Amino acid sequence: MIIQNSLYVPVGEGYQLHLRHIYQQQKMGPAVLLIHGAVENGKIFYTQSNKGLAPFLAEQGYQCFVADLRGRGGSKPAISKGDKHGQTESIVEDIPAILAHITAMTGKRPQFWVAHSWGGVLLNSVLARFPEEIEHISACVYFGTKRSLYNRHPEKLLKANVIWYMLAFWQVRKHGYLPARQLKWGSDNETRKSHAQSVQWAKRRPWVDSDDGFDYAAALKDTALPPTLHIAGVKDKALAQPVDIRQFMAESGTGIMEITVYGRRYGHQHDYDHINMLTHSAARHDQFSDLLAWFERYRQT
């Protein structure tokens, strides 16, 4: 039987990060950390009725720790106009605190890392700042992860150039944060800072932190990151085409990296897009099964 529990990790001044622990009591296998992307929360990986990637992995004996970054999902308090945190805090404070909490619970760092979209950028940024974490990770799988956008599809011009780069700034000025959930631009909101920082990197500017000038690309240039499988969807035209993902792979060190595109033309059951690559019922037979094989290939006993 799959069990789901909510855990809370204190960070900063008065913040609580929500961490969903999804597992089987009889099969407490290797720990998996799952990190969502921008305008999202951890629900991209699970439902309370045990659908999604995290329950799928729990069925196979893995124990999953699905994070809600600061202010998102079940984390407290929710994002409001007074919040000053952004992606730097996610990289330097939130994710390290989550790793420490998982270690305290299980006795070791999570063996596998999974991310959707911008979450993969945050995770590789963590590895750039804290390279000592690399030795604890057997493998990573990133769904639709890119840092900068290189494709010029009309849908990208609408979602990125018009909405994310222009209209979103107007909404931030109006509300003090980006109310993406109310606007139906995503499943959760973003702070002023996290939105502004993500725009800088998406526009192909250097992979450098706007807070302290830390150069993530330079830190990773000659670093072998854990073996990473990148998953792309044939209908993900705007946010993570293979050209965008490959550029991110090229700046993410020297380790083992592969990319697989999922769609009917490649023998898969569905033509996946940026969201349903994680939520479609057929995913368990396509990319979820390939993720499992990737884990098993690099799993440390």
Helix, strand or coil, per DSSP, at residue 281: helix
Among 52, 50, 63, 73, smallest CA distance to 24 is for 63
pLDDT at 232: 98
In whole angstroms, what separates CA 132 from the centre of its chain?
20
Convert the pLDDT of each residue in 76-109 to its tens digit. 999 999 999 999 999 999 999 999 999 999 999 9
Q: Check residue 78 and give its pLDDT.
A: 98
Residues in the chain: 301
Mean pLDDT calculated for residue range 169-195: 98
| Residue labelled with tokens 């974490």 | 133
CA distance 149 to 147: 7
Does pLDDT of 278 surpass 90? yes
Q: What pLDDT is attached to residue 76?
A: 98
Checking if the pLDDT of 51 tops 70, the result is yes
Q: Give me the residues paired with residue 142 across strands.
A: 115, 230
What would the two tokens of residue 121 be?
């950028």
What mean pLDDT is predicted for residues 178-193?
97
Residue 264, pLDDT > 90, answer yes
Mean pLDDT of 4-28: 95
d(CA 125, CA 115): 13
Q: Is the pLDDT of residue 300 over 90?
A: no
pTM beyond 0.95, yes or no: yes
Average pLDDT for residues 152-179, to the nearest whole number?
Answer: 97
Cα–Cα distance measured from residue 284 to residue 272, given in angstroms and rounded to the nearest whole number: 12
Instruction: Answer whether CATH 3.40.50.1820 is correct for domain 2-147+215-298.
Output: yes
Q: ω before 77 within 30° of 0 (cis)?
A: yes
In percent, the amount of the chain with pLDDT more than 70 equals 100
User: 181: which 2 tokens?
Assistant: 């959930």
Quick one: which of 94, 272, 275 has its CA closest to 184? 275
pLDDT at 292 over 90: yes
Choose among 259, 283, 288: nearest CA to 269. Answer: 283
Mean pLDDT of the chain: 97
Instruction: Look at residue 235 in the predicted model and tell me its pLDDT.
Output: 98
> In the chain, what are the domain boundaries?
2-147+215-298
pLDDT of residue 297: 96
Q: What is the mean pLDDT of residues 202-231?
A: 97
Is pLDDT of 301 > 60? Answer: no
